[in-house]
Amino acid sequence: MAASLAMQKAVAAAMADLPGLTGVFDGPPADAAAPYAVIGPDLVLDAGTKTEVAHEHRVLVTIWDDRPGVARLKSLIGAAETRLRALSGEWNGHRIVNARLVRATVGDADDGWRPGVIEMRLRSEQL
């Protein structure tokens, strides 16, 4: 799970100062103001070879908004995608070798809150 935690830290760092977000969390916050992002859940798959330790990560980021309509949410999802596609570098002994969008969607509003979900596929190699 070290690779998973390294990717979570990379995603959190990429999202931390995204204009318009009030915060980035690793679980549902008790009292956060909208819009905010929640990282997870994630799925980690072995992508290594005989000589290389590598992982494929499917990471979900959900941005929650309480504003009617979807324009602000779609704008935030687009900005998040740009940041997450640009992920690179070394994180806790793992190097990100590529980042791709799997899907992005905006859900229906429930009790005034609407989720926007972005799923990324990250590939990492252990250093």
Q: Which residues contact 106 (CB under 8 A, 6 or more apart)?
A: 70, 73, 74, 77, 114, 115, 116, 117
Position 28 scores a pLDDT of: 86
In CATH terms, 2-126 corresponds, of 3.30.2000.30, 3.60.110.10, 3.10.350.10, 2.70.150.10, to 3.30.2000.30
- Residue 61: both structure tokens together: 């980021």
- Residue 39: both structure tokens together: 């990282």
- The DSSP code for 27 is S
Position 72 scores a pLDDT of: 96
Position 61 scores a pLDDT of: 98
Task: Write down the domain spans for the chain.
Answer: 2-126
Task: Please report, in tens digits, the pLDDT of each residue of the chain (127 residues total).
Answer: 799 999 999 999 999 999 999 999 998 898 899 999 999 999 999 999 999 999 999 999 999 999 999 999 999 999 999 999 999 999 999 999 999 999 999 999 988 899 999 999 999 999 9
